[in-house]
Amino acid sequence: MKTKQVYLILLLWLIALGSQAQKTKIEAIDEVYIERDTLSFPIQGQVIKDGDVIAFDIPAFGDFMSDNHILLQDVHMMFNSIVLSEFPAFVESLESGVVRFEFSEDGLSEENRRLLYNLKGGATKKIKLGIKAGDTSINFGHQSQMFFSDIDLWGWVGWVMVGGFFLFFLVMIYRFDSLLRDELPNEVNSETAKGKSGAFSFGKSQMAFWTFIIIASFIYIWAFTTDLHSINATALILLGISSSTLAAAATLDNQKTKEAEKDDKAMKDLIESRTSRRNFFKDILSDKNGMNINRFQVFIFNIVFGVAFIKSVTLDYSMPTFDETQLLLLGLSNGTYVLLKTTEKK
């Protein structure tokens, strides 16, 4: 009797195992269509927009649903593996294998909106479409594009804000050019300094350069992605390098001024060396003896790093991450500038 019971249990187990093996699986999404204004287009070459219906053609989808006891409410669309549960699936019939979702930008949850807006790209972002049914997820084989009208609007606002900040920056420099100039001694024994303008300071100009780039980048990224956390360690280190360079250079200048106070001729020479040559580039790249290589080197490195930074922001909508070697290169160049400044007649 016991043997028969064991055989019966084994038989039932084999039947159950067989039924599990017979369950339909979905292997791939055959095609994805955009349905817009009563027309239907294959997704390739199209851009998904607000209000579009996205139709997934999935072979044996109805059998898969019934075999696995999955309800339609458990079927969701995915963008880049982000599950958009806020958009319900609807079908004409499960047997057709076509499941549809109507996309609405306003219908996005706050979390999904943030995740999608933070994807690389401007208003039009590259995405990977997919379906999640129960515990099964499957992606469409081709990359698609998604247009976000809110980002397009805020993108223009971002450009206006960056342009406005740039104009404000220029006006501030023009109206208060002392922000970028060396200070001339103004003690009683420095009559020679009266009526003269200090030369443009390399340290102050470098700090202004990186301050503008990082603030403008923050505004630009925020406008296109709504990301308020774009400032990274690289940006902070770049600001730190420029700030510490300015602080060290200012300390050296103060020491030279105090030493020159003891000698009228030395003070006169110091003022002459710090007087503007009426040319921005000559001012920041020269000392009393003319152009020098250490200033030119750090100037070139700043331009190269600045262009790379701006390129990353405008194309990838994120601030770049420079590695330790790259940051060390810029830091070493600035350190050399400060060290050799002790020998300059300026």
Query: What pLDDT is attached to residue 273?
Result: 67
**8-state DSSP, 148:** -
Q: Which amino acid is at 147?
A: F
Residue 168's pLDDT is what?
83
The pLDDT, as a whole number, for residue 143 is: 87
Do β-strands 47-48 and 136-147 pair in parallel, antiparallel, or remain unpaired?
Answer: parallel
pLDDT digits 0-9 by tens, 104-114: 988 999 888 88
Task: State how far the alpha carbon of 318 is from the alpha carbons of 10, 128, 220, 306, in Å.
Answer: 60, 20, 9, 14
- The SS3 of residue 124 is strand
User: What does the alpha-carbon distance between residue 153 and residue 158 come to, in Å, rounded to a whole number?
Assistant: 9
Q: Which of 67-81, 196-210, 229-243 has the highest mean pLDDT?
A: 229-243
- Mean pLDDT value across residues 296-308: 94
Distance CA 81, CA 128 (A): 7
pLDDT, residue 142, reads 85
Considering only the top CATH level, what class is 23-147?
mainly beta
Q: Are 3 and 10 in contact (CB under 8 A)?
A: no
Distance CA 34, CA 98 (A): 12
Q: And the tokens for 63?
A: 């059998």
In the chain, list all ranges with CATH 2.60.40: 23-147
Least confident residue range of 134-143, 231-240, 319-328: 134-143
- Helix extents (H) in 37-148: 61-67, 110-117
For residue 290, the model assigns a pLDDT of 75
The 10s digit of each residue's pLDDT in 224-237 is 777 788 899 999 99
**pLDDT of 5:** 62
Q: Are 240 and 219 in contact (CB under 8 A)?
A: no
Which DSSP category does 181 fall into? B
Pinpoint the alpha helices (H) of 261-292: 264-274, 280-285
Whether residue 100 contacts residue 53, with contact meaning beta carbons closer than 8 Å, is answered with yes
Contacts of 253 (CB under 8 A, 6+ apart): 182, 183
For 174: left if phi > 0, alpha if psi spans -120 to 50, otherwise beta; the answer is alpha
Q: Which residues pair with 139 in a beta bridge?
A: 130
